[in-house]
Chain A
Amino acid sequence: MRATHEVHIGSAEGTKGVAQQPIPSPVPTNGASPHQLQHSSHPGVQLHEHPTKAAAFVANDARLHWHDQAVWFLRGKRDRVSSAFPEWEQLRTLGSHIKAHTLSRLAEYLEQFERNALALGARVHWALNAEEHNRIVHSILADHGVTRVVKSKSMLTEECHLNPYLESQGIEVVDTDLGERIVQLRREPPSHIVMPAIHLKKEDIGELFHEKLGAPPGLSDPKALTELARQHLREKFLAAEAGITGVNFAIAETGGFVVCTNEGNADLSTALPPLHIACMGIEKVVPRAKDLGVFLRVLARSATGQPITSYTSHFHGPRPGGELHIVIVDNGRSRILQREEYRRSLHCIRCGACMNTCPVYRRSGGHSYGVTVPGPIGSVLAPHLDPAAHASLPFASTLCGSCSDVCPVKVDLHHQLLMWRGELGRERLVPIEKRLGSAIGGWILARTWAYRFFGKVMRWLLPRLPRALVYNRWNAWGRQRELPEAPAQSFREMYRRRRGN
């Protein structure tokens, strides 16, 4: 089973790619016209998206527990390797500081990276948003007459919905990360940023490969399935005219960048075709090559409990005879950068540890979030692009805080979730039942007499009402739980009597 969930740490960034209003950006827009951007159709206000989708996931109890265990297994591995690492907390602090520093002068580091990348012979493009990113990638491919592309894992291109865009332009795009290929063949988004197909069992994949790749029916041996995928992908690698990769870390002082994978597919995607396009979010830049010594040590350990990814590929300019294009994308990131209380979410190195530890993610599945990056980090990033469309995500958490404590770069995720709740509340993007309950509860609780009076009434009524009336269909608490027994006297009444005596 795990073979089909092999770890694929690709580059990954951002939130759901929808076009947005023009925003002040630190990104120079040479090569990209700063014209008025078009609004994509508004997906509408979604106040109950996560609870609705999560309920469907929970309905299959066996699958829920299988998913919970599969993902928790990674948290366990992360715990074991980080325990054997005396400087773990030091590295978290250091990584967080390096990111904070970089973000404090992001434009400078990006321009330094651009200068050095150009000097190495790469071409650099700047994209304000997802649409611009897709158009740039397409124009590079069109200039070279490319019709067949292989792509290693990149959450940024997922965020920008690059695949459907290129397909609509008549270009075949094949995801070469096994998990990504699986979800691509199923025509669904990844459910996890590191393990895109973690929601699927080996039997599901056998069925898919039977249907799409001609596997014999009933095949579920992970080794055989992987071999089949390997043969299928080899043909695609050999036929490809261009390779697209993500970027895990772009190094300002050298102009080089690093891509981490476990399958070597980034190397095959770039070594065979002559044209390499690397897509990165603006937050991927780090100042110095030696900073990698911090991030590479925590990335794979946090993600899957591996000491390091199987392949850590460094790219410095185009290979001889080839062409390298780097597309640097904002897509809402500079707006996050401007907001101090949320800025730290740009520290994220996309390890997925917050998903693995999140008790809600593990029990609701990545698709319940409805965004490219799910889980706690996705829930704080997505509302920046469209608060109304993702209004349920900051509430898809118990605010337990485990995400903030596993995060290798110390993103204060659960505090950002709470900040978002406050913001959505101010924008009236909280469900009416919550707002009403809060207004009534707040009014009562602000008045000691009202609190005492209604408390007494409730405690008197509860044991006297018929059970069917208390446990009615709208009582969500009571569907699977008993309400606490209502005592005749409150604490304050008992206390007063005791002190009186």
Chain B
Amino acid sequence: MSDVALFVPCYIDQFYPQVGLATVDLLERFGIRADFPEAQTCCGQPMANSGCFADAAPLAKKFLDVFSRYRYVVCPSGSCTSMVREHYVNLLPGEPKIAAMRGKVYELCEFLHDVVQAKPRGRFPHRVGLHQSCHGLRELRLASGSERRIAAFDKVRDLLAGLEGIQLVELARQDECCGFGGTFAVSEEPISCAMGKDRIADHERAGAEVIAGADMSCLMHLQGLLRRQHKPLRVMHVAEVLAEATA
């Protein structure tokens, strides 16, 4: 058994298997052969964010049962990671396994940057717009963000910036939300889509060919809008970019 477990969020498992595989490949490139415990399903965020904490609690419990025996849990989603790290305490008050889990669960880029201290090398000759997914940014603090007045840092950008040929474009609004927001995407559909279109327009104006991000859920929303409008802009998970570049 590896001491690293892979947590692949449910929608990635079902709709974006290539992102899961890219995550596996990428970790292997840095010498990490992660386990994929098959009992895993979902972190519970869709239920929790809908206010249905009672429906989310068994999923949180299940997550802790499946993953607590590992040293590290790595997940290619900032949002699911922040659910576990920041919000399980609200779902399962008093649950003793949570404290340890908070120190074990890592978003993929965060894990590569902080734990593995990886410096991915390879070629990715494209103009890339980096979409800062909110929960990675403001819950996990993967970057300093535009609001706070602290020394600037950006872990995801650091991983990408080492690639040869990559051009990271400058956006007018560097970290505005894309409007996905889980069930918000459906319950406030008009606003959600208006936000998504504005985000896409920003990337288009900046001349991006690819929108890359560390959360496939934001990208699923943006991709849905792009495909409906038959736009050439593509979305890629950062794991896919890094796996392709370092292949």
Chain A residues in the interface with B (C-beta under 8 A):
50-51, 54-55, 58-59, 61, 64-65, 68, 72, 79, 82-83, 85-86, 88-89, 357, 359-360, 363-364, 394-402, 404-406, 414, 418-426, 430-431, 434-435, 437-439, 441-443, 445-448, 451, 455, 458-459, 476-477, 479-487, 489-496, 498
Contacts and interface: CB of A to CB of B under 8 A. Distances in A.
Contact of A54 (B40, B53, B59, B190): B190
A43 B186 CA distance: 26
B49 A482 contact: no
B15 A405 contact: no
Interface in B130-168: 134-135, 137-139, 145-150
B92 interface: no
Given A398-B177, A434-B183, A438-B46, A480 B225 contact: yes
A457 B73 CA distance: 29
Interface residues on B, range: 35 or more
Nearest to B35: A499
Contacts of A359: 176-177, 179, 195
Contacts of B51: 394-395, 420-425, 430, 434
A441 B58 contact: no
B9 to A, nearest CB: 10
B53 A399 contact: no
Kindly name the residue among B11, B139, B182, B183 whose own CB sees the greatest number of chain A CB atoms within 10 A: B183
Which secondary structure dominates where chain B touches chain A? helix
B224 A490 contact: no
12 contacts: A54-B191, A395-B183, A399-B134, A414-B138, A424-B51, A430-B51, A446-B62, A481-B196, A487-B17, A492-B8, A494-B17, A495-B24
Nearest to A487: B17
A286 B62 CA distance: 47
Contacts of B56: 438, 442
A492 B9 CA distance: 11
B26 to A, nearest CB: 14
B180 A448 contact: no
B245 interface: no
Contact of A442 (B55, B176, B195): B55
B68 interface: no
Nearest to A91: B149
Contacts of B42: 445, 451
Nearest to A442: B55
Contacts of B14: 455, 458-459, 486, 490-491
B15 to A, nearest CB: 4
A483 B46 CA distance: 17
A364 B180 CA distance: 16
Contacts of A82: 149
B149 A404 contact: no
**Contact residues of A: prevailing secondary structure:** helix
A482 B187 contact: no
Given A359-B177, A434-B52, 15 more contacts: A51-B187, A363-B191, A400-B134, A422-B53, A437-B50, A441-B46, A442-B58, A442-B59, A446-B58, A448-B40, A481-B227, A486-B15, A491-B13, A493-B17, A494-B20
Contacts, number: 230
Contacts of A400: 134, 138, 177, 181
A61 to B, nearest CB: 8
A398 B40 CA distance: 26
Given A476-B189, A481-B225, A482-B227, A405 B147 contact: yes
Given A422-B51, A422-B53, A476-B186, A401 B138 contact: yes
A484 B198 CA distance: 20
Given A364-B191, A398-B180, A446-B58, A487 B15 contact: yes
Given A64-B194, A421-B51, A396 B188 contact: yes
A482 B147 CA distance: 32
A90 to B, nearest CB: 9
A89 B150 contact: yes
Given A405-B145, A445-B10, A492 B38 contact: yes
A171 to B, nearest CB: 40
Most A CB within 10 A of own CB, among B39, B138, B187: B187
Contact of A431 (B149, B182, B187, B193): B187
B10 to A, nearest CB: 7
Given A400-B138, A422-B51, A434-B51, A480 B189 contact: yes
A230 B40 CA distance: 66
Contacts of B184: 395, 397-399
A442 B55 CA distance: 5
Nearest to A456: B14
Contacts of A447: 41
B49 A399 contact: yes
Given A400-B134, A406-B147, A491-B12, A360 B52 contact: no
Given A406-B147, A491-B20, A425 B50 contact: yes
B58 A451 contact: no
Give the interface centre of A418, A424, A445 by most chain B CB atoms within 10 Å. Answer: A445
B124 interface: no
A363 to B, nearest CB: 5
